Chains A and B, each alone.
With several copies, the nearest count.
Chain A
Amino acid sequence: MSEDLFEEDQTEPTRVADRMAAEALIVDVDGFEGPLDLLLTLSRTQKVDLRKVSVLQLAQQYLAFVERAKQLRIELAADYLVMAAWLAFLKSRLLLPPDPTEEGPSGEELAAHLAFQLERLQAMREQAATLMARDQLGRDFFARGIPEDVMRVKRVTYTATLLDLMQGYARIRTKDEFRPYIMDRDAVFTLEQALERMRPLIGFAATWTDIATYLPEGFTSDPARLRSATASTFAASLELVKEGKAEIRQEDTFAPIQVRRRDR
Chain B
Amino acid sequence: MSQDTDEKEETLFEAPPIAEQERMCEAILFASAEPVTVKEMSARMPHGCDVVEALVHLRKRYEGRGVQVIKVGEAWAMRTAPDLGFLMQKETVETRKLSRAAIETLAIVAYHQPVTRAEIEEIRGVSVSRGTVDQLLEMEWIRFGRRKMTPGRPVTFVVTQSFLDHFGLESARDLPGLKELRSAGLLENRPPPGAMSPDDDSEDGGDTDQSDMFED
* A35 close to B (CB within 8 Å): yes
B93 and A157 form a contact (CB under 8 A)? yes
Residues of A within 8 A of B122 (CB): 183-185, 188
* A177 close to B (CB within 8 Å): yes
**CB within 8 A of A183: which of B119, B169, B178?**
B119
Q: Scan A209-239; emit 1 where CB is below 8 A from any B CB, else 0.
A: 0000000000000000000000000000000
* B64 close to A (CB within 8 Å): no
CB of A219, distance to nearest CB on chain B (Å): 17
B167 and A165 form a contact (CB under 8 A)? yes
| Residues A105 and B92 in contact in the complex (CB < 8 Å), given A124-B104, A168-B106, A171-B104 | no
**CB within 8 A of A178: which of B92, B197, B198?**
B197
A151 to B102, CA, bound (A): 30
Residues of B within 8 A of A112 (CB): 193
A113 to B192, CA, bound (A): 6
A138 and B93 form a contact (CB under 8 A)? yes
* A148 close to B (CB within 8 Å): yes
Residue of B nearest to A158 (CB): B98
**CB within 8 A of B194: which of A148, A151, A158, A180?**
A180
Residue of A nearest to B32 (CB): A145
* B124 close to A (CB within 8 Å): yes
A128 and B104 form a contact (CB under 8 A)? yes
Residues of A within 8 A of B44 (CB): 150
CB of B82, distance to nearest CB on chain A (Å): 4
Q: Scan A180-218; emit 1 where CB is below 8 A from any B CB, else 0.
A: 110111001011100000000000000000000000000
Closest 4 CB pairs of A and B: A36-B125, A178-B192, A105-B193, A128-B107
Query: Assuming A159-B96, A181-B123, what are 20 further A-B pairs, CB within 8 angstroms?
Result: A34-B125, A104-B194, A119-B184, A124-B108, A127-B110, A137-B165, A138-B91, A141-B82, A146-B34, A150-B31, A152-B89, A159-B95, A160-B98, A162-B167, A162-B213, A168-B103, A170-B187, A177-B193, A178-B194, A178-B197
23 cross-chain CB contacts under 8 A = A104-B194, A109-B193, A109-B194, A113-B190, A116-B190, A124-B104, A135-B82, A136-B95, A141-B80, A142-B80, A142-B85, A143-B31, A147-B33, A154-B94, A158-B102, A162-B168, A162-B214, A166-B181, A166-B184, A168-B103, A176-B125, A180-B194, A192-B127
Tell me the B residues contacting A by CB distance below 8 Å: 27, 30-34, 44, 77-82, 85, 88-98, 100-104, 106-108, 110-112, 118-119, 122-127, 135, 139, 150, 165-169, 175-178, 181, 184-188, 190, 192-198, 213-214, 216
Tell me the A residues contacting B by CB distance below 8 Å: 2-3, 33-37, 79, 104-105, 109-110, 112-113, 116-117, 119-121, 123-128, 130-132, 134-181, 183-185, 188, 190-192
